[in-house]
Amino acid sequence: MISTFLKTSVVLISILFTFLCNGQTKKENSARNWPNGAQLVISVSMQFETGGQPEGAESPFSGSPLPKGQPDLPAESWFRYGANEGIYRMLDLWKKYNIKVTSHVVGEAAVKYPKIAKAIADGGHEIAAHGISWSNQWNMNYADELAFVKKGIDTVEAITGKRGVGYNANWLRRSPNTLKVLQELGFLYHIDDLSRDEPFITKVNGKNFVVMPYTLRNNDIVNVEGKHWSPDQFLWQLKMEFDQLYEEGATKRRMMSISFHDRIGGTPAMVRAMDSFIKYTKTKKGVVFMRKDDIAKMVLNDPKTPIDNAEEKYNN
């Protein structure tokens, strides 16, 4: 009975999947457009933020906030989950499949949990920047913003030995000066742009700066916390997006971006969804998981990389 149940369940799921999503197997031998010959590059962002959150930070409890100064103990315990369980569970997953990801590390999170920051770096993952703390950045002047970003990378470097070259602003909201600040600090790229499914070059003070596509679509905090998706919905989103981009990747340079936060993407069902997704991608040739700094270096001076100066009025 049970074995029948399992077999039929599995077959049913496979059929369901075929039913909804067939057609993605064409053109596997077409021209490839990434310098490394990939048909599709996938990059995972693993945000490590827990411990750096301010009082009242967004959580399942923040909708009915307690009076200022009153500790919200279950909310605080919810955040600690990211440090106790979430990051380590994800690290185990990346290791299982030998995938290297980009971790956006909030400075104060690394200060609070240095072992975790070091474990991320020791796993071969990119240590990227995410500010010194959870704070609005779009409203800072140039000097303050530079200090804010610099303190973040200095702090995290002191702990991990790695200096960030990629940037992610709080809720993506950078200021008009952010790219200039980043360039002054030696950054190669930022990710707070949703305009393309591939990285592009934008000119900042006349020099190349890489804009890496980020995602609200394959983003745990947006869809699971914000939109209240169940983990099976998240998995469908990943697979359907993959199928389309992989097919397009036969003739165009295509990149898929995924975002997982310590306390959300690090929960058991979400890691299970990601595990299933990774397995699914392994059935296709030419799929590569990469760190964003490696992608940035690969495309920075590649003549096939598109140039887009849509924000040039801010970047000169």
Residue nearer to a second copy on the CB measure, 243 or 293: 243
Q: CA nearest 264: which of 231, 211, 224, 210?
A: 224
Q: CA nearest 46: which of 168, 193, 188, 224?
A: 168
27 touches a second copy by CB under 8 A: no
C-alpha distances in angstroms, 248 versus 27, 35, 218, 255, 310? 9, 16, 18, 10, 24
Number of chain positions touching a second copy (CB under 8 A): 90
- For 172-221, the three-class secondary structure string (H helix, E strand, C coil) is HCCCCCHHHHHHHCCCCEECCCCCCCCCEEEEECCEEEEECCCCCCCEHH
User: In the range 169-188, which residues lie near a second copy by CB under 8 A?
Assistant: 171-174, 176
Residue nearer to a second copy on the CB measure, 208 or 233: 233
Smallest gap from residue 153 Cβ to a second copy (A): 21
| Per-residue contact string for residues 188-217; x = within reach of a second copy by CB under 8 A | ----xxxxxx------------------xx
10 touches a second copy by CB under 8 A: yes
Residue nearer to a second copy on the CB measure, 171 or 302: 171
- Name the CA radius of gyration of the chain, rounded: 20
The region of 64-72, 124-132, 159-167, 180-188 touching a second copy under the rule CB under 8 A is 64-72
8 touches a second copy by CB under 8 A: yes
Smallest gap from residue 161 Cβ to a second copy (A): 27
Q: Give the whole-angstrom CA distance, residue 261 versus residue 267.
A: 10
Of these, 111, 272, 286, 300, which contacts a second copy (CB under 8 A)?
A: 272
User: In the range 96-135, which residues lie near a second copy by CB under 8 A?
Assistant: none
Residue 203: CB partners within 8 Å, gap ≥ 6?
209, 307, 309, 312, 315, 316
Smallest gap from residue 308 Cβ to a second copy (A): 8
User: In the range 34-63, which residues lie near a second copy by CB under 8 A?
Assistant: 60-61
Q: Give the whole-angstrom CA distance, residue 113 versus residue 135.
A: 19
